[in-house]
Amino acid sequence: MTHACCGPGYASPEAATKAEREKVLYTIAIYTGSSIVEPDYLATVDVDPNSPTYAQVIHRLPMPYVGDELHHFGWNACSSCHGDASKSRRFMVIPGQRSSRIHIVDTADIKAPKLHKVIEPEEIKEKTNLTAPHTVHCLADSHVMISMLGDSEGNGPGGFLLLDENFDIAGRWERKADGMRFNYDFWYQPRHNIMVSSEWGAPKTFYPGFDLNDVAAGNYGHQLHFWDWSKHEIIQSFDLGEEGLIPLEVRFHHNPDSTHGYVGAALSSNVWHWHKSNGHWQVEKVIDVPSVEVEGWPIPVPSLITDILISIDDRYIYFSNWLHGDIRQYDISDPSHPKLTGQVWLGGLLGKSSEIQSHKLTGGPQMLQLSLDGKRLYVTNSLFSTWDNQFYPDLAKAGSYLLQIDCDTENGGLKINENFYVDFGKEPAGPSRAHEMRYPGGDSTSDIWV
């Protein structure tokens, strides 16, 4: 969304919370890892309750090739570029996690995006020795930065790729990555000259699926890295150990003056809080979700915290427990002592979920996106194709759901919106799996204020 006086996004988090309601939502939808030999695509979903096509996919943009495994994506510009009137939030950067191909999509026609450019993996490998792109963040200096999870052979630790404003490869961001064994997500907070990154595993470890032996062998990450944003090097790493296995999504407060942030450790099923106190970064565990005995499972089943986000007013944190099947809302007014204020069940292995519009919910709640005003939480249920096939073998045949949860922002609380159900099991080429979501006007996981 552009304004005559300034660039993309909003002047402040408070201004963002007062923006107009989202009317269009983008989500990637994949056929990779299923029996359907079709390209993954970008789906445009109508989320305007006053529209005749409400809760329907109204456009599909297929990628040029089969097997990309589109996963996470982001914008060329966001609120970090708000002061630059020459910038606009027009292009989406959509990488293939498996192919390492990067697609640039033009959203000048908001409801019918078009492919603008493709960056081939061979060029990325040749210029940077990187593969397996994950998180996309726009930077205030017009670059786009992408976390890369592997080298050209699929080994860790990967690194960070920079694209310039023409979407040409500008090289690698990091100057020194000593101590980083793996890579995954990142978030930067310029006022504190800091970036935080997390660890999943090497692509060759997680591509085939999850093997418990890889945990024992140390092939999955358990570290959180704090980087000097101006020097592009790690200044401090925290080993979260057995209690912090596979730390995934990292989220700073949206208030750029704050040093508070959180990461969800997927396999350990807990949430860690960091902040800067007396000039030093500190990390503490603040939420634990106990594992549950499930018949037929060799070990107590972890909740598997996969996605996590913070409302733009920094009051609530939301996360999904993909294997247990619930989404939780916590009040984080006191950042070190989150209080559980809401919970809903959407699929999962514990059998606590109800039907929605006569649909049995397959899989478990996974990717989350929150409206700017914090009142609507959207959720999809696919994690990663091989992991889906392993833990929820019916998901590829059933296709994803896209649901909306109503959030009580005054007192806390979550409630399923029974009028909203997008069924990716009924797509024209067959059932597909939806993952990350974005809005044209920005959202709580891509906008950073400087």
Q: What is the pLDDT of residues 398-427, one digit of tens each?
A: 999 999 999 999 999 999 999 999 999 999
Residue ranges of E strands in 180-324: 186-189, 194-197, 223-228, 233-239, 247-252, 261-265, 270-277, 280-288, 305-310, 316-321
pLDDT for position 6: 84
Instruction: Encode pLDDT of 51-106 as tens digits.
Output: 999 999 999 999 999 999 999 999 999 989 998 888 899 999 999 999 999 999 99
| Strands 401-407, 270-277: pairing kind | unpaired
Predicted confidence at residue 177, as pLDDT, reads 87
CA dist 150 and 160 (Å) reads 10
Tokens of 97: 């996690």
Tokens 């040093």, located at residue: 259
Q: What is the mean pLDDT of residues 365-394?
A: 97
pLDDT in tens, 195-206: 999 999 999 999
Give the model's pLDDT for residue 2.
Answer: 42
**Band (4; pLDDT cuts 50, 70, 90):** very low
pLDDT of amino acid 1:
42
pTM: 0.97
* C-alpha–C-alpha distance, residues 176 and 280, integer Å: 21
Q: What is the mean pLDDT of the chain?
A: 96
Q: Which residue has the higher pLDDT, 278 or 39?
A: 39
The CA distances from residue 138 to 72, 80, 290, 411, 420, in Å, are 13, 7, 36, 34, 31
Q: Is the pLDDT of residue 3 over 60?
A: no
